[in-house]
Chains A and B, each alone.
Chain A
Amino acid sequence: MSGPLLKVEELVKHYPLCGGLFNKDPLVVRAVESVSFSVEAGETLCIVGESGCGKSTIARLLMRLGDPTGGRVLLEGTDIASLNKYELRNWRRRMQMVFQDPYSSLNPRLTAGQIITEPVENFERLGRKRREALAAELLQKVGLAPEIMHRLPSELSGGQRQRLGIARALSLKPSIIVADEAVSALDVSVQAQILNLLVDLQEQTGVSFVFISHDLGVVEHIGDRVAVMYLGRIVELGTCEALFANPMHPYTEALIAAAPVPDPTQARSEVPVEGEVPSPVSPPSGCAFHPRCPLAQERCRVEVPKLTPMPDGRTVACHVRATAEV
């Protein structure tokens, strides 16, 4: 098959706000504004950004837990966003999700074994023997003891629960897994274990990840390519090494500078970013970042910057940096 595994084109999601019966032109939250990216087989694409920038909305749209306002989500060339629910069910096997909260994403009334084998049982009948064998296999894959299959989620730790969530996502042997803040609810030491597990699983099965996080340290560890989001738009997208070594968009610069470095002797470059994130209900004109940008020019206030390809392969949406570079 040619072309990328997952291709997202001009994805848009607006949430209507208090759309009343008599209010003809209701306010909308512009959660995602024309986002495009692609994911190759076996690759990890990270999406970073601060809270409320639309990361989780993208995850939900990829999984079709909500319908996009516009744009296409092409999985192996098929538009997920236009499928009806019967067609969609079969495509669900190809794309699975790991949820943020390992507590509320597992049904408290089901045993670990029931939880992780349920997706498979949605598509084929399993006898008791085969179900238990499958559960044991999946548990071993994510580094849990098979004996755990008869326990309830309430009897497991946060890390164990998140491993169950990963096992559930793996059960259908998907070609892509969307992980929405999959480690943010865990302790730092457990985070590292789960991240290593994800890397190992990728090596074994060749699964692609769309890894959504706000934690740059995590992203640097796991990502092949990184997309940086600000107010519903991707502002910079490039390989992990290039982007962390040499951020081009002023927002990426500020984000990386703000991340704590575990080395007190290392001098930190201060990038001044002032103010708060504007509301996605009424985003600023032109470049959404211009009110806080130290480099802002007249043009930034008027014209929305497009993602422009750079010589090193990345794309940046910034009038100042994109033109300076060329």
Chain B
Amino acid sequence: MISSANIDAVPTTPLGLSNLPRLARRYPLVLLGGGLLMLLIILALAAPLYAGDPQNMDPFVRLQPPSAEHWFGTDNLGRDVFARTVYGARISMMVGLISALLAACTGLLMGVVAGYVHRFDNVIMRVMDALMSIPTILLAIALISLTGPGIGILIVAVTLPQTPSVTRLVRSVVVSVRERPYVEAAVCGGARLPKVLRRHILPSTIPPLMVQSAIVCADAIMIEAGLSFLGVGVPPEIPSWGNMISSSRVYLASAPLTIFAPGIFLTLTVLAVNLLGDGLRDLFDPRAKRRR
């Protein structure tokens, strides 16, 4: 789970659009994962343009097989499964990306403070250990039962258990870099603390942080789907892959697409994020690439 991106690796290939073909040959996973993810994001964002209303119920066309009008058929309340699936992508993407961003930001802050300020090291890391020991689903259920279902609390519930892994990673990088002679040289040269951090320590944390964020994002999407499946995630009126699978599971035999459509999209999304994460790891760590 803890990624091992090389903290000293400097990407030799400039990341620009002009050398996309070369990039594609060297790091196909980044492009494959990133491309798939981009496609899914665009699909989710553009949903109102091409898909119908996901809330629109029509009891006369319950559990229909796929047709020209309903590409993935309809569910038990006669709602369009295709529309619900692409709208569900919005929830998954939102929870996944915002959680990853939040976990990365708090993890970076906590990790840098723990790694650089000796006084706070033990406090922060023990709090993180405590956070890690709470079961994810249980914590989410507890939090959501306090406030009632909602996207905001869901994101918090998904992010909270993910921060310790990021914090630990960042801290370990900071601890190993802060003793480097070039950091001491910067201090000798009269650099103030913010500059030492910004110029000499933070750049080393970015590659492993990006890899870890991809893993966090994939985890967050899975956890959100799990919580929604259990009925403690997003409110039931909002389409989400988790509650779609949950509400359709009794119709598996009569209308399999009602389950398979969100299931396959969920798998594809998590796969895309994981591919991107693996690709980024290879990109930042030339040694991992060569071992294959």
Asked if B195 CB lies within 8 Å of chain A CBs, one says yes
Contact yes or no, A123 B188, CB < 8 A: no
Partner of A99, one of B10, B181, B191, B192: B181
Q: Determine the distance from Cα of A10 to Cα of B141 in the docked complex, in whole angstroms.
A: 64
Task: Give, as a whole number of angstroms, the nearest-CB distance from A262 to chain B.
Answer: 32
B14 to chain A, nearest CB (A): 13
With both beta carbons as reference points, the residue of chain A lying nearest to B185 in the complex is identified as A105
Looking at the assembled complex, report how far the CB atom of A179 sits from the nearest CB atom of chain B, in whole angstroms.
12
B188 touches A89 (CB 8 A): no
Q: What are 21 A-B interface contacts by the 8 Å CB criterion?
A: A65-B188, A92-B190, A96-B188, A96-B189, A100-B181, A101-B181, A104-B180, A105-B185, A107-B200, A108-B10, A109-B10, A109-B203, A110-B199, A118-B186, A118-B191, A119-B189, A122-B191, A122-B192, A122-B195, A152-B10, A168-B185
Q: Are B10 and A92 in contact (CB under 8 A)?
A: no
Residues of B within 8 A of A131 (CB): none
With A101-B181, A104-B181 in contact, do A65 and B189 touch (Cβ < 8 Å)? no
Residues of chain B within 8 A of A105, CB atoms compared: 181-182, 184-185
Closest CB in chain A relative to B263 CB, distance in Å: 43
**Contact at A97–B188, with CB atoms within 8 Å?**
yes
Check B138 for interface membership: any CB of A closer than 8 A: no
Q: Check: A154 CB closer than 8 A to any chain B CB.
A: yes
Q: In whole angstroms, what is the CA distance A123 to B186 when docked?
A: 12
**Taking the complex as formed, is A106 at the interface, i.e. its CB lies under 8 A from any CB of chain B?**
yes
Bound: A110/B185 CA distance, A = 13
Which B residues are CB-close (under 8 A) to A173? none
Enumerate A137-192 residues with CB–CB distance to B below 8 Å.
152, 154, 165, 168, 171-172
Query: Which of B186, B188, B199 has the most chain A CB atoms inside 10 A of its CB?
Result: B188
A219 to chain B, nearest CB (A): 22
Interface size on B, residues (CB 8 A): 18
Interface hub of B185, B195, B200 (most chain A Cβ within 10 A): B185
| B58 interface residue (CB < 8 Å to A) | no
Q: Which 8 A-B pairs have the closest CB atoms?
A: A119-B189, A105-B181, A92-B190, A122-B190, A107-B182, A99-B181, A104-B181, A97-B188
In the complex, whether A292 has a CB less than 8 A from a CB of chain B is: no
Q: How far is the CA of A93 from the CA of B191 in the complex (A)?
A: 11
Q: How far is the CB of B126 from chain A (nearest CB, A)?
A: 15
Shortest distance between the CB of A167 and any CB in chain B (Å):
12
By the criterion CB–CB under 8 Å, are B191 and A154 in contact? no
Q: Which residue of A lies closest to B9 (CB)?
A: A108
> Number of contact residues on A: which range applies?
20 to 34
- B53 is an interface residue with CB less than 8 A from chain A: no
Question: Which residue from chain B places its CB closest to the CB of A91 in the assembled complex?
Answer: B190
- State the majority secondary structure of interface residues on A: loop
When C-beta atoms are compared, the residue in chain A nearest to B193 turns out to be A85
Taking A89-B190, A97-B188, A123-B190 as given, write out 16 further A-B residue pairs in contact, using a Cβ cutoff of 8 Å, ordered by the A residue number: A63-B188, A65-B187, A65-B188, A89-B192, A92-B188, A97-B185, A99-B185, A100-B181, A101-B181, A104-B180, A105-B181, A108-B10, A109-B10, A110-B199, A122-B189, A154-B10
Chain B residues 140 to 185 lying within 8 A of chain A, measured CB to CB, are 180-182, 184-185
A271 to chain B, nearest CB (A): 36
CB distance A168 to B181 under 8 Å? no
**Interface majority SS on B: helix, strand, loop or mixed?**
helix
CA distance in complex: A97, B183 (Å): 13
Cβ A108 vs Cβ B187 within 8 A? no
CA distance A172 to B190 in the complex (A): 10
Partner of B189, one of A109, A110, A154, A172: A172
Q: Which residues of B contact A101 (CB under 8 A)?
A: 181
From residue A46, how far is it (CB to closest CB) to chain B in Å?
A: 20
Q: In whole Å, how far is A268's beta carbon from the nearest beta carbon of chain B? A: 37
* Contact of A104 with B182 in the complex, beta carbons under 8 Å: yes
Q: Which A residues lie within 8 Å of B129 (CB)?
A: none
Least distance between B267 CB and chain A CB atoms (Å): 38
Residues of B within 8 A of A106 (CB): 182, 185
Q: How far is the CB of A62 from chain B (nearest CB, A)?
A: 10
Neighbouring B residues of A108 by C-beta, 8 Å: 8, 10
Interchain CA distance A194-B266 in the complex, whole Å: 62
Q: What chain B residues lie within 8 Å of A109 (beta carbons)?
A: 10, 203
Contacts of B181 in A (CB 8 A): 99-101, 104-105
